[in-house]
Amino acid sequence: MPLILSPADYAPWLVEDDLPAIRALLKRPADDAVELTAYPVTRAVNRPTYDAPDCIIPLAG
């Protein structure tokens, strides 16, 4: 599961010795204001050995 952080949460996430703050970030749901875009990509992204820039190019349709 990805962790989606707002810019205000970048600093607490990057401070490695503040475990309570990190745990709090992990327990919070993602901010509804964050806009995500989903699009189909090639099935090749499912192969762990596939490492090419074209694997994230959106497919038509």
11 pLDDT more than 70: yes
Asked if residues 14 and 4 have their Cβ atoms less than 8 Å apart, the reply is no
* 45 has a pLDDT exceeding 70: yes
* Tokens coding 9: 């949460």
pLDDT score of 55 more than 70: yes
CA-CA distance, 12 to 20, in Å (whole number)? 10
Residue length of the chain: 61
Confidence band for 29, pLDDT divided at 50, 70 and 90: confident
From the CB of residue 18, how many other CB atoms can be counted at a distance below 10 Å?
14
pLDDT at position 1: 67
Average pLDDT over residues 25-43: 82
Whole-number pLDDT of residue 48: 92
